[in-house]
Structure 1
Amino acid sequence: MLVGVDFGRDPDFDDSLDELALLASTAGDEAVARVIARRKAPDAALFIGSGKADEIKALVLGHEAEAVLFDQALSPVQQRNLEVHLGVPVSDRTGLILEIFAQRARSHEGKLQVELAQLQYLATRLVRRWSHLERQRGGIGTRGGPGERQMELDRRMIEQRIKQLKIKLHKVERQRDTQRRARARGGSLRVSLVGYTNAGKSTLFNALTKAGSYAADQLFATLDTTTRGMYLGEGVPQLVLSDTVGFIRDLPHKLVDAFKATLQEASEAQLLLHVIDANSPKLHEQWAEVERVLEEIGVDETPQVVVFNKIDALPAHQQPRSALDWVERPNGTRVARVFVSAHSGEGLANLRQLLARAALDEPLIPDVPPPSAQPDLFAPPH
């Protein structure tokens, strides 16, 4: 069962819960019902209040739901109280995203990053949720004073493992730094694909480089950074293209921290290809969220090309007026805008042309008239 709570403060509140349903599906769950609650503030004990909790409990029983997923972050106490009240496991958006990341991680680095994020999340949730967290007795046989709580043992083991993982990830970061410096010495332009999850970054990456990376119509289909050289023609320097993990609304800070080594590819890039799903009904919200994350990791001033993907899925009346033009980002800078379909190949020649200009250190803003005064369906959010 999916539950969203509208506190009236979030203009991007998803009252359809479509994204949460897609997250649940990606994790292997099936949504049997959706509930929207409206409150002025979260309830300290049950987040949604006892009355709404009783209503959800009845729905859980009626639909025979096996779990309840909240679209907002729950405190450890709220999660524990809700599980006791509802009688089924309860997870929040952060826990669900972590579960998906755990399923998707393939490389050694990715698995380390996911484990670190999961342990940091779990460390805050050792609040007597399990019956084995009872006080034990120390000493030999029946002698000796009271031992420490199993909960404290668990916390200590988690803290030790977190330290070990941070040391290992620090080594990974150093290795990546060495690889980046080697590429920089080679003089190749470093380009990174960024964008909202499921915008088609990996499909576009494969279309441009023939890399054969895993791509699927699902959230977080790939987590591991893939880097390939890209040939753009005679007389054009080769560039290095990297595919990075997708962003999502309310991306947990634990994940941003844990995936620092992966996101470092974007921070070291000399050009960002911001891939946007042109067919998404949440296009502007997703654009704004990616801009927010780019600012958070300190790359909002890096030169960009805005790539609207999946134009083959647009109906005729929504097709762009021009396949290549420029647009003004929310921060006021002008960037080239290109419309493509990574699936059909439409528009990729224009994108390759822009990348070739970047590799030759030529201006990227195309020599075309400014966007017309007519309403632009693909204008940036403000």
Structure 2
Amino acid sequence: MEPRIPGEIRLQRQAEPEAAIAAETRTLVIGPYQTRRDAGGEPRPPLARLDEAVGLAAAIELDVADRLLVTVQQIRPSTYLGKGRVEEIAGRIEADGIRLVVMDCALSPVQQRNLEKAWGVKVIDRTGLILEIFGRRASTREGTLQVEHAHLAYQRSRLVRSWTHLERQRGGFGFLGGPGETQIEADRRMIQERMTRIERELETVTRTRGLHRRSRRRVPYPIVALVGYTNAGKSTLFNRLTRAEVLAENMLFATLDPTARAIKLPHGETAILSDTVGFISDLPTMLIAAFRATLEDVIEADILLHVRDIAHEDAEAQGADVAQVLAELGIEPDADRIIEVWNKADLLDEAERERLLNLSRPNGVKDAPKPVLLSALTGEGIDRLMSRIEARIAAARTSFAVILEPAQGAELHWLYENAEVLDRREDASGTLHLVVRVAPEKEPRFLNRFGAARRLKGSA
């Protein structure tokens, strides 16, 4: 058994740049898939699932030396894979100098330990890999705490494994080292104490976010939240709409912490646009719970933009996965506030682009939900999206006809600050005839100030 290593030496080793460690870690990604059907009723192609797993490994810069697709007829309780397949992979690992195996499935602690013994290398499952990515990506205090809490919950069930120890708490390559077998019960108690402290800190952070959210509601501006499968182009669209510089790369989970910016709609209305973490198939339950606070903006948003990579071969299954996560957050996938955005139109050939454009055009059916085809990268279709957002917000608002005398400058200023001015005409005497649209929460103040305003037919 490896002796305990003093904490200061461990910390010094951990200070090595994680990217450099990853670049030297020859990794084998294994896709051990049973035949299954997604929510949409169609089987998710195994090769697409394996490609995604390789993308997850690449997101933390691991050196993926090889990939292996394995068809699993029956899951073995001890090693997940059958004995013959385990031995075959052991020879491949030794021949290729593999140091880390990523199993794109959920392994029990026993299965993980037994595979490590059989193969003589570190083994992590899909949950562990996603946790490592989140550990690398988290930058805000809230995000860091949530990742650490989820990581500790994951580690707590695996303290029987010889390389796991509490002192590797932070995000990063928790699977690339460890002090050896330790005092299990003491470690478990220390983990629980740390998790309790994190929960208290998260309560404080969540209260602060709640205060910020309530202050926005007092303004108030409608909230538009971007949701979608990871790498669907949400951050690129966010940057396009807000002229911000949020990290937007062709990389899974490039965005983790939520970002919000103000945007102007076509008629001058201000809205808050929020970018969120991308969803993914088989998202660990502990992460859904841990990031529920981060996703509160999604739950409370007035409009949800479901961004889809329409050029991806697995677009339908990805859309179904997002719908499933939204349902777990209490949001119906066909809710009126959801606008589907078909992104990456620039990657389509001309025939497919024209076909999807026809599908996205209004067909005269009232309230028929239609997606918006666009390219966040080139800007194509952005105007259509902005008009659709404004129309969806307007559907829940009331329009009024207001008449103002020339001397009522203060009232005119109030209208421009607190309502959407849709039309403005001035007659020969200087009297203004306005059509304005008012948010429900501002209606009482509006009617108190403009009691003679006339509600227009067809308004909400």
Please indicate, yes or no, whether the TM-score normalized by the shorter chain is above 0.5: yes
1:62-77 mapped onto 2 (5 Å cutoff): 62-77=95-110
Q: Deviations 1:76-96 (Å, cap 9, x if unpaired)?
A: 111011111101110111111
- Structure 1 position 359, deviation (Å): 3.6
Out of 340, 345, 348, the position equivalent to 2:379 is 345
1:183-198 mapped onto 2 (5 Å cutoff): 183-198=216-231
Contact 1:237–1:359 (CA under 8 A) maintained in structure 2:
no
1:228 to 1:259, Cα distance in 2 relative to 1, 3 A: same
What is the match of residue 361 of structure 2? 325
1:347 to 1:69, Cα distance in 2 relative to 1, 3 A: same
What is the match of residue 257 of structure 1? 289
> Paired residues, what number?
342
Q: Is 1:32 aligned to residue 32 of structure 2?
A: no
Q: Is 1:270 aligned to residue 297 of structure 2?
A: no
What is the match of residue 394 of structure 2? 360
Contact 2:229–2:307 (CA under 8 A) maintained in structure 1:
yes
Q: State the AA in 1 paired with 2:258.
A: T
Q: State the AA in 2 paired with 1:226.
A: T
Q: How far apart are the structure 2 equivalents of 1:350 and 1:9? A: 38
Q: How far apart are the structure 1 equivalents of 2:347 and 2:85? A: 40
What is the match of residue 137 of structure 2? 104
1:3-82 mapped onto 2 (5 Å cutoff): 3-10=30-37, 11-12=43-44, 14-16=46-48, 17-82=50-115
Decide which structure has the larger Cα Rg and report it: 2
What is the match of residue 372 of structure 1? none
Q: How far apart are the structure 2 equivalents of 1:131 and 1:283? A: 37
Out of 176, 181, 197, the position equivalent to 2:209 is 176
Q: Deviations 1:279-314 (Å, cap 9, x if unpaired)?
A: 111000000000000001111236111001110111
Out of 236, 254, 262, the position equivalent to 1:229 is 262
- Structure 1 position 274, deviation (Å): 0.3
Q: How far apart are the structure 1 equivalents of 2:109 and 2:83? A: 17
Q: Deviations 1:193-241 (Å, cap 9, x if unpaired)?
A: 000000000110010011221111100001010111111244x421111
The two structures have a TM-score, normalised by structure 1, of 0.85
Contact 2:236–2:248 (CA under 8 A) maintained in structure 1:
yes
Q: Is 1:129 aligned to residue 162 of structure 2?
A: yes
- Structure 1 position 320, deviation (Å): 3.7
- Structure 1 position 362, deviation (Å): 6.3
What is the match of residue 308 of structure 1? 342
Q: State the AA in 1 paired with 2:211.
A: T
1:189 to 1:53, Cα distance in 2 relative to 1, 3 A: same
Contact 1:6–1:37 (CA under 8 A) maintained in structure 2:
yes
- Structure 1 position 334, deviation (Å): 4.5
1:130 to 1:346, Cα distance in 2 relative to 1, 3 A: closer
- Structure 1 position 326, deviation (Å): 5.8
Structure 2 counterpart SS, 1:32: strand
Q: Please, what is the CA RMSD of the aligned residues? A: 2.1
Q: How far apart are the structure 1 equivalents of 2:55 and 2:102? A: 12
Q: State the AA in 2 paired with 1:325.
A: R
Q: How far apart are the structure 1 equivalents of 2:161 and 2:53? A: 28
Contact 1:306–1:336 (CA under 8 A) maintained in structure 2:
yes
Q: How far apart are the structure 2 equivalents of 1:124 and 1:18? A: 29
Out of 328, 331, 334, the position equivalent to 1:299 is 331
- Structure 1 position 31, deviation (Å): 2.1
1:230 to 1:276, Cα distance in 2 relative to 1, 3 A: same
Contact 1:238–1:359 (CA under 8 A) maintained in structure 2:
no
Structure 1 counterpart SS, 2:379: coil
Contact 2:262–2:270 (CA under 8 A) maintained in structure 1:
yes
Q: State the AA in 2 paired with 1:251.
A: L
Out of 171, 191, 202, the position equivalent to 2:235 is 202
Q: State the AA in 2 paired with 1:277.
A: D
- Structure 1, unmatched stretches of 5+, are 134-148, 328-332, 364-382
Identity of counterpart residues, as a percentage? Answer: 42
Q: How far apart are the structure 2 equivalents of 1:180 and 1:86? A: 50
What is the match of residue 239 of structure 1? 271
- Structure 2, unmatched stretches of 5+, are 1-27, 38-42, 167-181, 398-460
- Structure 1 position 345, deviation (Å): 0.5
Q: How far apart are the structure 1 equivalents of 2:386 and 2:235? A: 16
The two structures have a TM-score, normalised by structure 2, of 0.71
Q: How far apart are the structure 2 equivalents of 1:129 and 1:28? A: 25
Q: How far apart are the structure 2 equivalents of 1:318 and 1:47? A: 41
